[in-house]
């Protein structure tokens, strides 16, 4: 036990002495959350809209006023005909356009269908379809108001936006960012710690010491868990103070799950470093093996539900996938263990398997 | 000139021999391509829906049928318990709960007005907005349908009134294929990784091995050295882009609407920026590990903030301003404009000029930084 404590103390000295790395480890998550919290969003807002109205009349003017009033749209150009539309789209100056046909009000007055065309820049398909849906909703609302004056039947939907009433992207992405940033920091930390031991040759010394492999691992992991925990606290504080992300569930539970996730990422990093021969491959493996899956397959940016079955199956083994789920549920939905026992068990199982595997990987090095 | 060519040849041999490094640079973009082209869609169909029908009338069943038949919603659970519905919403099994109160039909008949309740899981903000607009449309068209039926039963009502017919058109990507959008962006990531990571690592390795010192004592000038170092990677980057385009067109069937000459011209300028950043990183580090670390850190920020994954237009206003200083952003814009929209030179003039500015500034800075260290 005292040997383990000695190793822990050595590790703590290393961390404290290397101020530059310490600053990177502590400051990077905080910085990245700020940067990406503002950058990674998918809100469709302030859509730049062009209006093509060859012959303005009361109805088209009323509709245009509705588009102006809608918070989502921002009319940047009103054109008499559609010929100038294409360059505006190609330059990206407008994202959507509403085209009225001539004699719009006259046709409606005569009981003839009036045509209205909504064009959107669908090169980015999501924004493209959202713009269309929003524009169609504006027209629909106008029609509804006109019709409902003479309407006899109405079904009034009351709408409740659960868990995120203002529909802020940051509420979705900041809890996810926590997983991403923790993954990077954890793999970075293990990579730094282990490659340094390898570089200086002290790892060999540790391996021939009376310390057991699990003790070496524990000594490596414990101090960094503390550092990781500090970054978790920092990120949660930031989520509350900077991004106003609610914390509806239990803070204790979130912290415990955070610790569990750090443990998983750290042991994954150690496993990769222990399994590979050269430092370069180890770091590459740590970065590619943890960063890419966390970014792409955790549901952090891209929703898992819309992925094909094969990718969803792969995502099951990505630890961040489970932590993103847990963090979002605790923060936004306020759910407790009653709902989260399954992902929690998965994380515990992953931690157990990875810890045993990395201990064994060290053991093999000892003998080989 | 001959010296540059000799050195460049040595460089090419190094690159060709070092399979591992080359593989590294290819793995990341290929994984991104495979995953993103399949995964990166926010499309909303078959929203799992829980139905709480407390009315159990013809009218309420009709409404549920309309939801199920719309193609946007899939009824995955139904019970007369709001608590069970709430549970399903909390567990994340369903995205929407449609609750029809007990006197739905009778109040519709008596007063002509009836409420229904839609609870949407709004965790995913913009998706929730779409779900909501689909749902509202279904509800209001069902009301119109019921009214029309009523009008048939009691003749003498005025004929149906004229309507505005809304048609929608999705320009540049009518099939709403996410792949067409992602591949041109990922090509940029590919070129960037090759340019920056290989350059930074390569020079860092020369430092580690001590061969940089040797080169410094040869009669080669700094300009010649840098030209010889960068030239092979510049060519490699262009070849890489060509291969990537070929794969994109043949395997993924992405459109190539604009001029390829223009794309390669822009790439040639952009590669200068990417290489200069790599050179600059290499002057700051001592070892290959450090080179990789710094490169990954820089690339991470550059790629995530370039609009490659999430649209620039959605970013916070100050981030949009800051991202102007991100060369990746400009080349992503150019690549997508040319390939997807078929833009010409005049359409991409602004980002292109910005890239030229970047090329001049970064190259000057990198070269000056470099000469200081080797002097």
- Rounded to 5 degrees, φ, ψ at B31 are -60, -45
- The residue ranges of every structural domain in chain A are 2-41+167-367, 47-144
**Residues in contact with B329: Cβ distance below 8 Å, sequence separation at least 6, in sequence order:** B305, B306, B307, B312, B323
The confidence score (pLDDT) of residue A368 equals 44
Residue contact B147–A152, C-beta within 8 A: yes
The confidence score (pLDDT) of residue B159 equals 46
The pLDDT tens digits of the residues spanning A269-282 come to: 888 777 766 666 66
Residue B99 pairs with which residues in a beta bridge? B52, B117
B38-66 as b/e: b if 16+ CB within 10 A:
bbbbbebeebbbbbbbebebebbeebbee
- Rounded to the nearest 10 degrees, the angle between the axes of helix B349-374 and helix B260-284 is 30
Most B CBs within 10 A among A157, A165, A191, A332, hence the mutation to make, goes to: A157
The secondary structure of B232-293, three-state, reads: HHHHHHHHHHHHHHHHHHHCCCCCCCCCHHHHHHHHHHHHHHHHHHHHHHHHHCCCHHHHHH
B130 interfaces chain A, CB cutoff of 8 Å:
yes
The confidence score (pLDDT) of residue A266 equals 86
Residue of A110, A153, A188 with shortest CB distance to B143: A153
pLDDT tens-digit profile, chain B (375 residues): 777 777 778 777 777 776 766 676 666 667 767 766 665 555 566 788 999 999 888 888 989 998 888 888 888 888 888 888 888 888 778 888 999 988 888 888 888 888 888 888 877 766 777 788 788 878 878 887 887 777 666 555 444 455 677 777 778 877 777 778 888 888 888 888 778 878 887 788 788 787 777 777 777 777 778 888 888 888 888 988 888 888 888 888 888 888 999 999 999 999 999 999 988 888 887 777 677 777 877 888 888 888 888 888 888 888 889 889 999 999 999 999 999 888 888 888 899 999 999 999 998 888 887 765 543
The confidence score (pLDDT) of residue B328 equals 93
- The residue behind tokens 């041999």 is B13
Residue of B124, B309, B341 with shortest CB distance to A172: B124
Residue B116 pairs with which residues in a beta bridge? A157
The confidence score (pLDDT) of residue A64 equals 92
**Residues in contact with B109: Cβ distance below 8 Å, sequence separation at least 6, in sequence order:** none
* pLDDT > 70 in chain A, percent: 87
| Contacting residues of B for A166, CB less than 8 Å apart | 125
The confidence score (pLDDT) of residue B17 equals 72
The pLDDT tens digits of the residues spanning A182-201 come to: 887 777 677 667 766 776 77
Distance of residue B311 Cα from the nearest chain A Cα, in angstroms: 7
The pLDDT tens digits of the residues spanning A142-171 come to: 877 776 666 566 667 776 767 766 667 778
> pTM of the predicted model, to two decimals?
0.77
The confidence score (pLDDT) of residue B375 equals 39
Q: How far is CA B322 from CA A177, B187, B318, B356, in A?
A: 20, 23, 6, 18
Residue B314 pairs with which residues in a beta bridge? none
| Contacting residues of A for B38, CB less than 8 Å apart | 307-308, 311
Give how far the C-alpha of residue A164 lies from the chain's centroid of Cα atoms, to the nearest Å. Answer: 15
Distance of residue B71 Cα from the nearest chain A Cα, in angstroms: 15
The confidence score (pLDDT) of residue B82 equals 87
CATH number of A47-144: 3.40.1710.10
| Contacting residues of A for B166, CB less than 8 Å apart | 116-118, 136, 139-140
Domains of chain B (ranges plus CATH)? 2-40+176-374 (no CATH), 47-153 (3.40.1710.10)
The more confident residue out of B373 and A252 is A252
Residue contact A301–B309, C-beta within 8 A: yes
């Amino acid at each position: 036990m005292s040997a383990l404590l000695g190793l822990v103390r050595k590790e703590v000295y290393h961390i404290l002495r290397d101020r530059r790395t310490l600053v990177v480890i502590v400051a990077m998550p905080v910085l990245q959350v700020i940067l990406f919290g503002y950058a990674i969003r998918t809100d469709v807002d302030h859509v730049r809209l062009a209006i093509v109205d060859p012959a303005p009349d009361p109805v088209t003017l009323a509709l245009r006023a509705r588009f102006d009033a809608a918070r989502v749209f921002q009319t940047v150009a009103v054109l008499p005909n559609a010929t100038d539309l294409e360059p505006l789209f190609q330059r990206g100056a407008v994202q959507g356009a509403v085209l009225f046909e001539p004699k719009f009000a006259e046709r409606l007055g005569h009981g003839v269908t009036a045509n209205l065309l909504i064009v959107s820049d669908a090169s980015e398909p999501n924004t493209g379809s959202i713009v269309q849906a929003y524009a169609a909703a504006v027209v629909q609302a106008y029609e509804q108001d006109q019709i409902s004056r003479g309407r006899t039947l109405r079904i009034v939907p009351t709408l409740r936006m659960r868990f995120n009433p203002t529909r802020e992207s940051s509420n979705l992405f900041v809890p996810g960012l926590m997983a991403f940033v923790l993954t990077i920091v954890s793999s970075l930390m293990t990579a730094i710690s282990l490659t340094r031991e390898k570089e200086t040759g002290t790892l060999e010394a540790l391996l021939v010491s009376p310390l057991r492999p699990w003790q070496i691992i524990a000594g490596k992991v414990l101090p960094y868990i503390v550092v990781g925990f500090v970054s978790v606290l920092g990120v949660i504080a930031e989520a509350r103070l900077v991004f106003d992300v609610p914390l509806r569930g239990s803070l204790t539970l979130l912290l415990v799950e955070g610790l569990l996730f750090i443990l998983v990422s750290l042991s994954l990093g150690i496993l990769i470093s222990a399994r590979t021969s050269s430092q370069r491959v180890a770091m590459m493996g740590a970065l590619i093996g943890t960063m890419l899956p966390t970014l792409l397959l955790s549901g952090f940016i891209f929703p898992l539900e819309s992925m094909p079955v094969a990718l969803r199956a792969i995502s099951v083994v990505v630890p961040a996938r489970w932590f993103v789920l847990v963090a979002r549920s605790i923060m936004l939905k306020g759910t407790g263990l009653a709902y989260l026992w399954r992902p929690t068990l998965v994380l515990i199982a992953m931690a157990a398997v990875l810890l045993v595997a990395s201990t064994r990987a060290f053991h093999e090095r000892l003998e080989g | 000139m001959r010296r540059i060519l000799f050195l460049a040849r040595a460089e090419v041999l190094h690159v060709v021999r070092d399979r591992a490094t080359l593989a590294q640079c290819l793995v990341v973009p290929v994984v991104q391509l495979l995953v993103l082209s399949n995964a990166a869609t926010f499309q909303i169909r078959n929203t799992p829906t829980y139905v709480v029908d407390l009315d159990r009338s013809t009218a309420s069943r009709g409404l549920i049928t309309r939801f199920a038949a719309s193609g946007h919603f899939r009824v995955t659970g139904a019970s007369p318990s709001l608590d069970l519905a709430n549970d399903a919403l909390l567990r994340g099994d369903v995205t929407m709960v449609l609750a029809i109160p007990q006197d739905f039909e009778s109040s519709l008949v008596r007063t002509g007005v009836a409420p229904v309740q839609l609870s949407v899981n709004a965790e995913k903000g913009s998706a929730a907005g779409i779900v909501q607009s689909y749902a509202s449309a279904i509800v209001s068209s069902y009301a119109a349908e019921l009214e029309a039926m009523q009008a048939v039963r009691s003749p003498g009502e005025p004929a149906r009134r004229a309507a505005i017919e809304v048609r929608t058109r999705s320009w540049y990507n009518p099939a709403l294929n996410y792949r067409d959008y992602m591949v041109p962006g990922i090509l940029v990531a590919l070129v960037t990784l090759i340019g920056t990571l290989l350059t930074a690592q390569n020079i860092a390795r020369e430092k580690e091995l001590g061969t940089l010192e040797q080169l410094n004592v040869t009669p080669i000038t700094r300009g010649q050295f840098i030209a010889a170092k960068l030239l092979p990677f510049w060519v490699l980057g262009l070849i890489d882009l060509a291969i990537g385009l070929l794969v994109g067109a043949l395997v993924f069937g992405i459109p190539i609407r604009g001029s390829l000459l223009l794309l390669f011209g822009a790439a040639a300028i952009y590669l200068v920026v990417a290489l200069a950043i790599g050179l600059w990183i290499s002057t700051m580090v001592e070892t290959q590990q450090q080179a990789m670390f710094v490169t990954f850190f820089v690339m991470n920020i550059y790629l995530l903030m370039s609009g490659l994954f999430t649209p620039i237009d959605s970013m916070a206003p100050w981030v949009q301003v800051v991202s102007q200083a991100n060369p990746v952003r400009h080349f992503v814009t150019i690549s997508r404009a040319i390939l997807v929209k078929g833009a010409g030179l005049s359409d991409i003039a602004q980002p292109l000029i910005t890239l030229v500015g970047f090329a001049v500034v970064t190259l000057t800075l990198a070269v000056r930084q470099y000469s200081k260290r080797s002097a």
